[in-house]
Every structure is written in C-alpha cells, then in structure tokens.
C-alpha cells in the first residue's frame, strides 16, 4: 500500500516551483536535512509528501528552497482542504479524488484543473499541517521545543529559523491579469474571476466589494451633484436626499450580502466546510489536553483571557478614546486662540498661524492612530487568543472604535456642540479630500516608486537589461523575496469604512461627499490593483465566504448615520421655521421620524433575503442530496440485515 | 435479502399499540385493505413495515386501527429520523443501528431505550413518508388523486377518508408524570426531562420557558412590591426600577438562549439535523418538477405567493390594524360620553353606565381577535406556503401584530396622547388581571370541566365504575379519540408574550405588574399541566432546538419597552421638575438616554454568547471528530491508492 505512493516522488519529471521557503542564513545543516526530509517524507510516515529543491544563488548561499508537488498529490490535497469545484452539470460540489471524473474540465493530463493559487494554498496547508511526531525539539535548536502534534512550520517561524514562506508569482499570468485589470483604459467590470484565480477569494472579494460599493455610490453622487450646481438649500430637498441616503445605504448593504453569496457560490467557498482552526502561531500556554481534540497542546484559561480583556484592554481603550477627545478639545482651543490672535494683530504671520492648529491636529491624529495601532496589536496579542479569527475580531474592534472616534469626533463636536453647519461642511470636505489624497499616495504610489527604484538597482547589479518576464527563476525569487508583504485586507476595508462614514454620517450637509467617494474609488481600484500586482509579494490565497465582521461594521455605521442625519435635519433653520411655536414639537417630530426610519431599516434588513432565490435553491438541492444519500445508506444497510 | 426482513412481522409476539388511526365510518373495504397492506408491506416493496391491528369495538364497527412496530423496526426508524441519543461516554451522538452498542442504556432486550414519545414520533414519520408508487388515485375514491411520491396519509387526510391519527396515552406513565408534575403541592422545578420523554421537546421547551420566565420575573416582582407597599412615587426610584427592568429583560432573554441550548443539548435536538421538510398538507399547485428534489410534485410560483402576500395580505392586515384603532377611538368617545352623562344626571343608572363602554370594548376586542384569527388563518393558507414552518411564521407574524395592537393600543393612547398616568396604571391593572383570569378560565378549567362531565357520561354508558387505569384498551381508545386536540404551543406563547408586554412596556408606571405575572404563571404551570395531561389527546412529539420565532418576538418587545419606558419617565412630573428652564433639555436628555440604553442592549446581546462554553466545547468536539473521520477516510483511500 505504502509502496504504491512512492511513484509520486519521481513520476513527474517537470518540477514546477510553487512556493518559496527562505531559511535564516547560517541555519544548521542537520536542521535543514531534517526539515526537508519531513517535507518529502511519505504521508504514511507523517511527512507532507511534497517536492523540494534548493535554489542555487549566484553567491552560492543556499538558504532558499522551492517547494512543489506532483499533480496527483495536489488533487489529493484538494480533497483534504475540502475544495469545492464545479461539476459537469454546473453544480458546485466538494472535490473528492474518487469522483474526479464528474468535475468540469477535469482530465488526468489537465494540470490547470486546479488554479495556481489553489495549488499554493494546498501546499501551504500541507506545510502548516506538518506536525511533530516524537521530536522534543527542532534538531540543532534545543530551545525550539516541540511536542507531538505541534506544527513544525509554525515553530520554525516563531523561533526565527524560517524567515518566510511565500508563493511565487506567475509572470505570464500576472501580465495577462494586470493587462485586463488595469492595463488599458476601459469602462467595465474588473476581471473578478481572474483575480480570484490568481490572488484567491479574500482579495477578490475585497475588490468585488470595492467595485460594488463604487457602483452603489453612483446614485447618491448623481443626486448630490445638483445640490452643488444649483446651490440648493431648501429644507425639503435635503430631507429627501438624507432619506434616500438612509434607505439606500440599507439596501446596498443587504444587496451586497446577496452579491457576495452569488460570487462565493461561483467560487465554491460558500459551500466549503470550515476547516478546524489551529491555534495561532503566537498563542502560548502551559502544555495540557485540549478538551475538544483530546490532543496535547498549550492551553490557556478562558477566564484569564476574559479578565485581561475586561480589566485591562477595555479600560485602556476607553482611556485612549478619552485622550483622543481631550486632544480634540485642545485643538479647538488652539483654533480659537489662533482666531483671536489673528483678529488682534492682523498680519501675514497671523493669517498663516490660522492653519497651524489644523496641521498640528492632523499630524497628531496620524501619530495617535499609529501608536494606538501598535498598542492594540500588542494588547490583542497579549490577550492570548487561541484562534486567528478571534484575534482578528478583537483587533478589528479595537482599531475600528478608535479610528471612528479620531476621524469623526471633531465633526460630531462641530455639528452637535458648536452647531456650525458651515464649518461642518468645510471640515468634512477638507478631511475627506485630504485623507483620500494622503491615502492614495501613502498606500500605492510611494511603495510603487520605492519598489521601482529598488528593482532598477537590482537589475543594474545583475548587469542585465532583461524585461520582467525574461528573468531567470533565481532572479525572480531574489527579487520577490525582497518585496513588501501584503498584510491583508484590513487597511483597505478600514479606508472604505471611514469613507462610508464621511458619505453617510453627515450626508444631508454635504451631498457632494458621494461624488468624491466615487472618484476616489475609481482611482483606488487602479492603485490597489497596481499595489497587488507590482508592489507586494504574492499573498497566499485565503478561501472566504463573506467579508465577515466588516459587514457588521458597515451596518452599524448606517444605523448611526440615521441618528446623525435626523438630528442634522432637525437642527437646520428651514426645519426650525416649520415649527415656529414650539421647539418641543420639532424635537418630538424628529425623534419620531428617526425611530420610524430605524424600524424601517430593521424591517428591510429582515425582509430582504440574504441569499438570492436560485442560490437558496441550489443549496437546498445539495442538502437534499446529502440527506437522500444518507437515507440510501441507511436503506442499503437495512436491506443487508 | 428481502426475505430476512420478514421476521420483523412475526418475531415479536407482544404487539404494543402506539398510534391510533381512525378512518371515516363507511370507508370502502378495498381502500382499507390497500391502506393496511401498504402499512405492513416491506420497506423494499415501498411499504412502512409497521404492525397494524383493527380494534374491535363493542358495537362491532371496525373503523379504528392500532399501529405498532417491532423493536428492531423502531431502532431502524430512529436512525432514519436522525434521533440523537446519549452515548456511554456521556456525549450526544446521532443514533445509528450499527453503533447501537455504544449508546447508554442500550441492550437488545431493553425496549425502553427509545421513549414511547420517540416511538410514536418514528411511527408518525414512517406513516407520513408512506408514498404512492404507481397508483393514480386512492382505490375506491377516484376523486382522491395520487402521483408518484405523494404522501398517502396526507391525501387520505385531505380527502376525509382518514379522520385522525393520534398517539395513545400510557395511563401508567401519565399517572406517574402528573403526580410528580402537579399532583402534590411542592416548591421546586418541573420534571422537564420526564415531560420531554412523555410529550416531546416542543412542549417540554414551552414548560421550560414558562418556568424560566417565572423565575426570571421574581426579581422584578420583589423589587416592585415596596413601590406598592410604601407608595413610592419618587422620580429616581422609578428610573432605577425602569433601568433595572430594561437591562434585566435583555439579560433574561439572552440567558434563556443559553438555558435553551443546555436543555436541547441534553435532549439531543440541538444536534439533530433538520429533516428535509415536506410540502404542508394544504399546499396545492399544478403538477411540476420540484427544482430541489427533482421529483414530480405540485409547484406554485414564488412570485405569485409574494404578490398575494404584499398586495392582499399586507393591505388587509393594515386595514384591520386601522379598524382596530378606529374601534379604540370609538371606545374613548363612548367613555367620554358616559362620563359626561354621569356628570349631567348623577344617578345609579348613570354610574352603571360608566362601566358599559369598557365592557363593550372588552367584548368587541375579544370578538375582533377571534374573527381576525380566522381571517389570518384563511389568508395565510391562501398564500399557499409550501412548508409548514413558513406557514407558521407568516401566521404568527400576522396574529402577533394584531394582538399587540389590540391589547396595547388603548394603553399607548392613554399614555402618549391623553398623558393620564393614573388612568394608565388603572387600565393596565384591569387589563392584566382580567385577561389573566379570563385566560385561566377559558383555557383550562372550562375544558377540564367539560371533559370531566363527558368522561362521567362515557363511563356511565359503559356501565362500569372503573378508575382510569383499569380501562380496557378499547375503552381507552374510545375515550381518547373524543378528547380535544391540542393545537400546538401558539396560544400559550402568545399569552406569555402579551404578559411580557404588560410587565415591560409600562413597567415604570406599574411595578406591581411583575407580581401579578409571577402569581399568574405559577397557576398557569399547574393549569397548563392539567390541560396537557387530562383535557387533550396526547400530541405527537415534535423535536425542536429552540422556541424559534418567539425569541425574536420577545426581543422585539423588549426593544419597544426601552422606548416606552424612556418616554414615560421623561413625562413624569418629577423629571419635569428637574428641568425647570427648558423642556428642550428634558427631551434631548431623554432621547440621549434612550439611545444609550438601546446601544447597551445591543452590545449586551452581542457580548453574551448564545451557548454556554461547555456546550460550545461539546459541539466543537463533535465537529472536530467528524472532520477527523473525514480525514481518516481520505487518508485510508490515499493509502489504498
């Protein structure tokens, strides 16, 4: 039985490098030997049964390895990770090797049945699931402890022996993709399916959301333009705009869920069973028995974690929020002081001084955001979450709350304490536009420029003037390993989330916000695409079925925006004039309208189904089939009795 | 293979009757023959493979049949319906016949491994899944059409040939159960596990909720008593009470989810896979192909149904709501008129006249509720829902909205239009207490008394003075088939829902409401228990994992109660006095507090996990095991390769 597996190692002559492993320079020989042996060892012997080749560099240093796998090995791996692929009858099913013939485009000699991103995901999964057997430590590194079942790769990473693992770019494919994505000036959709094939579902879903969100903002932008052009200031027009905005933002968020279900159904991730999540690399604790798996692994008391969250993290976050508000108050004081100073001694210097508080505040906000981000990451890591998903959720929540306050607190203050609508509009415009320009610059153009310069330097050093596609494998690996690492979609979503805040929170004061958001997002698509294709290392594909916690964040923002818009409308002088006798009636009317709108929002969210009917039908069909199969099994068993 | 099944028919000598089938008098001989043959036919021939015996009555009429099944048949049926039972290692697992030895209390000769309710549920399931093969109609009844796959029992029911199917009581068990449940005066919990064994999970969960809810109300009641005793009228005490109430009602609803998970995990229904739902008996349409199952069955366009819902049902419900409000306005006019009349000519007659409007209104409300209930049932049935669950949800929604308005509209009017807190308190007390008394009477005592009288008559006719347990089988069946049918937990939950409304919506005006609710619920437990055990036919057990849509209904009520309580507190003269200068500040403060409370509610609902940690762990363990088993399969397959 085991014998028959051996042909996997040699049967395929064409070794296709998929993933790069970079070890620390000076890693001990015995460690390398042990590690590579574990990688190529047969499954039955507890290995990963992959192929590995050292990459010989010009300078003769041998710390970079290329990992690949035979075609058959990848197909079996696809079954292990539970990949869902399309069948010949257009339905989506979990891939199994035994039923491989029923899948669309499957042929024993078709090596493109699995996309390169899928192959790389499978290899990553297999590498991460390479587990220690009886080893007590990593050979050559007694301080890097192991215990049965511990992921070897994770231990190598945490002990610094393994520098990084990353998937290789496919220069051919990348060129094709970037051409159809952003290479030509065209009006049309992004090639989402191609993006998904190349970068995986998480990133494709981000671009899908970005595109969807941009299209969804267009109606708001179109309606917003005449307000600017004709300088409409009528009360009823603003109310109409705000009401439209509120209902529209509910509708687009609900419809996105449906779009998302359509996309992820087509990509197979909607049906993909969640894998059993491993402890995240940073998780530590005393060695004990995991009550779920029954395996020996570090355990950490959940009560301790709760205590850390509620007694340390929560007060710290509150303190930071308070501090941020305090800084904001200083800013307003400074502003007032600058204004007074300008009034007293009107000079060129004093009018320059008018800008100083804003500039200082902008810089301080940026600094606070960065410091807080580090603090949040440190705290969340200190909370010692066992799962990556739970770590991410806690981090996102912390960062989100702080960023929300930092970005919008001054606007809230201007709107609801100073009651200065003109200043609000002005601040909103300034904040929105400058933040967009800064983001675009810092996020894409700067790294792109740095990368370009670096590449030029590299090529010069290699004394050759080849184009990208002509690079040798060694040159390509050498170049890619120096590229920055894409840290996930967090910052991209955060940017969109804050933008959504600018557009919706005070929409009735500044209808033009949506126009700027649309313009920004169009360039954002291009600059993000550029960033993915040219600036960063290729990231591993991550299957996902939705945008996760961000859906909740956007929905919360849209609820808050109902409240703010209702108050803003209630405060406008036009509405004031409608209730000349009693301010009381005004406030009560506004409160009533707000509650009705909120109720309407919740009812709409409840009534609009999360999945389109045909996806529901397809899911029901699959469920029915599996129930039927179960029944058949029972029946077959009863027959045999 | 098929041969080996035949021993099931005869192997067991002791036929234990479980379910009674009553056919219409004068059912044709050929129909009875065909139907009973299909019931006893082997599984392989498309039969149900159950046991059936005619019940010979004294008057010689033979239209009642007893259905049972062999022990082995029931075990196989338990696997078919996906029953979850406890294993020897205390974990809950889906029962399969092949793994039967691993289950707690299993022994080949232990016929109590499955509870009687489970056996009856299995038989009901098997009977309902007895499907037409090539028959075009029910033999003897050409108008009762059949098509391949149509449930025979459902067609027999809809064409009136089958009068009813009901499970038999177990007099012995029932006596034990009723003794421990309500037979002795004691303070303590209900025997929920025994109730579940006898009546099934849906009913046990209702009693579990009733008990939990009663306990949960006790703190409110205890805090409410001093308000009445010391006639506290201070503003801050009311605010404290209301705030406590609001947070408490969120907490109890969240904690109930956890309690519910604990109960249903223990009962196995939390893990039970949802069966594929069959079309409900009343569903009709043109014969077509079901896109999910691929079977021939009636299909009905979803768009037509949506049109019926949104163009007919929704306007009708709105009209009814409007009409109900209109009637309420007439009531207030009448009330005013009676008051004026009393003032003008003060006499005994005129003071009697003061009560007339209330009485008329109460009667009219009751009549409207009943008519509306019929209309709602008719409309929902006309909407032609394919699934029973969807029918139930639409019916519950319709009835809930109308009942809510009917019960609380007058209170809302008194509170927020008339601003008469004294009248509000008085009306609230009257409505709560009278509705409770009426309910208790109409629901339990009246049917019990009627049943008792009927039983006496029956026994007299049988010319015997035996006690209940000594009845012969024929006498027992004869008596039970005349008992009323329990129509499900709908009305019981509705009553609790309205009670929750009385307690929470205006809690800060009438803190004593919780006291009455607790007192009512204690007697309610007894009267409902009495009702289940003595008044109604035994209902079929229905596995369920939660109280379903009622959780949502209670949560919605608690959100509404935040709004009403905040307004009431804001309107109280004590609070008014705190803001002597500006009503505006008052309203704004109230609005702010309300929003903060609502936000707090949502955060609490988000933070409190729906399932207790140990249940989560157990579920995770099961999931892990099934993933591991899958991996083992894959690995075993890979080894064989």
Q: Report the C-alpha dihedral over residues B196, B198, B200, B204, rounded to 10 degrees.
A: -40
Q: What is the mean pLDDT of residues A227-236?
A: 72
Structure tokens at A431: 């904040």
Q: Could B624 and A293 be called an inter-chain contact, meaning their C-beta atoms sit closer than 8 Å?
A: yes
Residue closest to B398 by CA, chosen among B423, B415, B381, B416: B381
A587 touches chain B (CB under 8 A): yes
Q: Please determine, for residue B425, whether its predicted confidence score (pLDDT) is greater than 90.
A: no
Q: Which two three-digit tokens encode residue B95?
A: 């029962």
For all residues of chain B together, what is the average pLDDT?
Answer: 84
Q: Is B607 on the interface with A (CB under 8 A)?
A: no
Question: Would the CB atoms of B627 and A44 count as touching at under 8 Å?
Answer: no
User: So what's the pLDDT on residue B330?
Assistant: 92
Tell me what the mean pLDDT of segment A100-124 comes to.
87
Q: Is B374 on the interface with A (CB under 8 A)?
A: no
Confidence grade of residue A465 (pLDDT, cut at 50, 70, 90): very low
The predicted pLDDT at position A480 comes to 85
Nearest alpha-carbon partner for A607 in A262, A251, A261: A251
Tell me which residue in B276, B302, B588 faces A624 most closely, judged by beta carbons: B276
Q: Name residues whose C-beta falls within 8 Å of residue B13's C-beta, 6 or more positions apart in sequence.
A: none
- A 10 A CB-CB count for A160 gives 12
CB-CB contact of B1 with A639 (8 Å): yes
| Mean pLDDT, residues A262-288 | 81
Q: Which residue of B has its CA nearest to A76?
A: B638
Which tops the pLDDT comparison, B444 or B10? B444
User: What's the pTM value of the predicted model, to 2 decimals?
Assistant: 0.86
Mean pLDDT in residue range A87-114:
84
The pLDDT of residue B204:
94
**Model pLDDT, residue A206:** 95
Predicted local confidence at residue B263, as pLDDT: 93
**What does the pLDDT average to over A592-615?**
89
Q: Are A117 and A198 in contact (CB under 8 A)?
A: yes
A291:B621 CB<8 A: yes
Q: Decide if pLDDT at B159 tops 90.
A: no
A620 touches chain B (CB under 8 A): yes
What pLDDT score was predicted for residue A461?
62
Over the stretch A367-385, which tens digit does the pLDDT of each residue have? 888 899 999 999 999 998 9
How far apart, in whole angstroms, are the C-alpha atoms of residue A63 and residue A80?
30
A238-242, A632-636, B205-209, B595-599 — most confident range = B205-209
Q: What is the per-residue pLDDT across A134-192, written as a single tens digit (0 to 9) for each?
A: 888 888 888 888 887 788 888 898 888 999 999 999 888 888 888 888 876 666 788 89
Residue B8 confidence (pLDDT): 42
Lowest mean pLDDT among A299-313, A314-328, B563-577: B563-577
Average pLDDT over residues B73-95: 86
- Contacts B583 to A, Cβ<8 Å: 583-584
* Max mean pLDDT range (A106-110, A136-140, A212-216): A212-216
Work out the pLDDT band at A248, boundaries 50, 70, 90: confident
CA closest to A633 among chain B residues: B80
Average of per-residue pLDDT across B74-87? 87
pLDDT in tens, A45-78: 888 889 998 887 766 667 889 999 988 889 988 8
Residues of chain B above pLDDT 90, percent: 23
* pLDDT tens, position by position, B272-319: 876 667 777 778 788 888 878 777 778 888 899 999 999 999 999 999
Predicted ipTM > 0.90: no
Contact A79 B634 (CB under 8 A): yes
pLDDT at A233: 67
Buried b (16+ CB within 10 A) or exposed e, B439-471: bbeebbeebeeebeeeeeeebeebeeeeeeeeb
Partner B contacted by A318 (CB < 8 A):
no
* pLDDT, tens only, A566-594: 888 888 777 777 787 777 788 888 888 89
Classify each residue of A333-348 as buried b or exposed e, where b means 16 or more C-beta atoms within 10 Å of its C-beta. ebbeebeebbeeeeee
Residue A157: closest CA among A18, A290, A27: A27
Confidence grade of residue A607 (pLDDT, cut at 50, 70, 90): confident
* Torsion, Cα of A481, A483, A487, A490 (10° steps): -150
Report pLDDT for B588: 84
Mean pLDDT of B621-627: 78
Q: What is the reported pLDDT for B452?
A: 76
Tell whether the model's pLDDT for residue A260 goes beyond 90: yes
Q: How far apart are CA A432 and CA A419, in angstroms?
A: 20
Mean pLDDT of chain A: 84
pLDDT over 60 at A641, yes or no = no
Q: Which string of b and e fits B608-641 if b means at least 16 CB within 10 Å? A: eeebbeebeebbbbbebbebeeeeeebeeebeee
Q: Is the pLDDT of residue A1 over 50?
A: no
> In the predicted model, what is the mean pLDDT of residues B32-47?
88
Q: Residue A462: what pLDDT? A: 62
pLDDT-wise least confident of A283-287, B129-133, B223-227, B230-234: B230-234
- Give the one of A4, A276, A595 whose C-beta lies nearest to B563's C-beta: A595
* H or E segment and range at residue A41: none
pLDDT (0 to 100) of residue B67: 93
Q: Provide, as residue numbers in chain B, all residues whose Cβ is less than 8 Å from the Cβ of A44.
A: 639
* Residue B459: pLDDT over 80: no
Measure in Å the smallest separation between the Cα of B376 and chain A Cα atoms: 19
Hey, is the C-beta of B591 within 8 angstroms of any chain A C-beta? Answer: yes
Q: Give residue B254's pLDDT.
A: 92
Q: Do A292 and B2 touch (CB under 8 A)?
A: no
> How many other β-carbons are positioned within 10 Å of the β-carbon of residue A256?
19
Residue A630 has pLDDT above 80, yes or no: no
Predicted confidence at residue B322, as pLDDT, reads: 94
Q: Are strands A296-299 and A51-54 parallel, antiparallel or unpaired?
A: unpaired
Q: Residue A3: which pLDDT band, with cuts at 50, 70 and 90?
A: very low
Which has more confidence, B59 or A492?
A492
Task: Give the pLDDT score at B467.
Answer: 52
């Amino acid at each position: 039985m085991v014998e028959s597996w051996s042909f996997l190692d040699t049967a395929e002559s064409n070794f296709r490098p998929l993933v790069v492993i970079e070890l620390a320079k000076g890693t001990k020989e015995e460690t390398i030997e042990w590690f590579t042996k574990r990688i190529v060892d047969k499954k039955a012997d507890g290995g990963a049964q992959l192929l590995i080749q050292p990459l010989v560099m010009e300078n003769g240093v041998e710390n970079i390895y290329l990992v690949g796998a035979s075609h058959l090995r990848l197909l079996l791996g696809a079954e292990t990770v539970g990949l869902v692929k399309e069948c010949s009858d257009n339905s989506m099913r979990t891939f199994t090797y035994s039923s491989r013939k029923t899948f669309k485009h499957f042929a024993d000699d078709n090596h493109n049945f699995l996309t390169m991103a899928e192959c790389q995901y499978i290899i990553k999964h297999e590498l991460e699931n390479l587990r220690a057997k009886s080893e007590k430590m990593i050979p050559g590194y007694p301080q890097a402890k192991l215990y049965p079942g511990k992921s070897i790769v994770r231990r190598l990473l945490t002990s610094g022996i393994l520098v990084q693992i990353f998937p290789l770019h496919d220069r051919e494919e990348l060129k094709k993709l970037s051409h159809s994505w952003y290479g030509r000036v065209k009006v049309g959709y992004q090639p989402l399916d191609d993006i998904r094939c190349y970068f995986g579902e998480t990133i494709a879903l981000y671009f899908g959301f970005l595109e969807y969100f941009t299209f969804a903002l267009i109606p708001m932008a179109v309606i917003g333009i005449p307000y600017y052009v004709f300088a409409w200031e009528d009360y009823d027009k603003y109310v109409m705009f705000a009401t439209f905005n509120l209902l529209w933002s509910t509708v687009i968020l609900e419809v996105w869920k449906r779009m998302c279900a359509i996309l992820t159904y087509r990509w197979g991730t909607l049906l993909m069973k969640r894998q059993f999540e491993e402890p995240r690399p940073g998780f530590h604790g005393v060695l004990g028995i995991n009550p779920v798996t029954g395996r020996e692994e570090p355990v950490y008391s959940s009560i301790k974690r709760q205590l850390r969250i509620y007694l340390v993290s929560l007060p710290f976050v509150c303190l930071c929020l308070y501090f941020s508000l305090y800084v904001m108050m200083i800013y307003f004081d400074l502003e007032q002081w600058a204004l007074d100073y300008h009034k007293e001694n009107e000079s060129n210097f004093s009018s320059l001084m008018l800008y100083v508080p804003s500039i200082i505040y902008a810089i301080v906000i940026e600094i606070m955001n960065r410091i807080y981000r580090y603090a949040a990451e440190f705290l969340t890591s200190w909370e010692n979450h066992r799962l990556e998903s739970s770590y991410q959720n806690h981090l996102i929540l912390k960062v989100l709350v702080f960023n929300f306050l930092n970005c919008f607190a001054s606007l809230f203050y201007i709107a609801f304490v100073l009651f200065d609508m003109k200043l609000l509009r002005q601040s909103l415009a300034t904040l929105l536009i400058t933040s967009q320009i800064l983001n675009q610059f810092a996020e894409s153009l700067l790294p792109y420029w740095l990368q370009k310069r670096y590449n030029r330097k590299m090529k010069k050093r290699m004394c050759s003037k080849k184009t990208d596609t002509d690079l040798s494998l060694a040159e390509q690996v050498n170049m890619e390993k120096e590229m920055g690492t894409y840290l996930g979609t967090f910052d991209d979503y955060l940017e969109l989330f804050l933008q959504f805040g600018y557009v919706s929170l005070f929409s009735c004061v500044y209808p033009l916000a949506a126009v700027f958001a649309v313009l920004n997002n169009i360039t954002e698509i291009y600059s993000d695409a550029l960033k993915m294709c040219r600036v960063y290392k290729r990231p591993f594909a991550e299957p996902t079925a939705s945008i996760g916690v961000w859906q909740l964040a956007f929905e919360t923002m849209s609820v808050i925006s109902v409240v703010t818009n209702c108050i803003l409308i209630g405060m406008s002088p036009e509405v004031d004039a409608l209730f000349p006798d009693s301010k009381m009636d005004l406030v009560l009317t506004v409160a009533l309208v707000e509650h009705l709108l909120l109720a309407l929002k919740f009812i709409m969210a409840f009534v609009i189904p999360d999945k389109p009917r045909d996806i529901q039908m397809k899911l029901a069909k699959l469920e029915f089939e599996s129930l039927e199969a179960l029944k058949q099994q029972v029946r077959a068993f009863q027959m045999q009795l």
